[in-house]
Amino acid sequence: MTADQVHDLRVKQEYEAIKGFYIHFLVYVCVNLLLVTIDVLGGDPMWSHWAVLGWGIGVLAHAYAAFVMKPAEMAKWEARQLAIIAGKS
């Protein structure tokens, strides 16, 4: 595998991780808007904030994984792959 192929693979994996986060975030917003609307129209007691909070924690963890952890992990993996390639040359 060449350095360009390794780089292309890394870029593709980062793209997929970020795309996955945005899909998750869009579903989170749409579903929670629906839940809040049902909650407001349904009257007391209010409960939708628990769904927003609980799922929001999951969305934040996904954002951390996609934007912070994944690029750092991929950079380490790429460095190992390049070292392997350099050793074979």
Give the pLDDT score at 89: 56
pLDDT in tens, 64-78: 988 888 777 777 877
Per residue in 7-39, pLDDT (tens digit) is: 788 788 888 989 999 999 999 999 999 999 999
Total domains in the fold of the chain: 1
pTM over 0.85: no
Structural domain harbouring 47: 3-88
pLDDT of residue 60: 97
pLDDT tens by residue, 38-65: 999 998 889 999 999 999 999 999 999 8
If you write DSSP's letter for every residue of the chain in order, what string do you get? --HHHHHHHHHHHHHHHHHHHHHHHHHHHHHHHHHHHHHHHH-SSP-HHHHHHHHHHHHHHHHHIIIIIHHHHHHHHHHHHHHHHHHH-
Distance, first Cα to last Cα, the chain:
11
Instruction: Give the percent of the chain with pLDDT over 90.
Output: 49
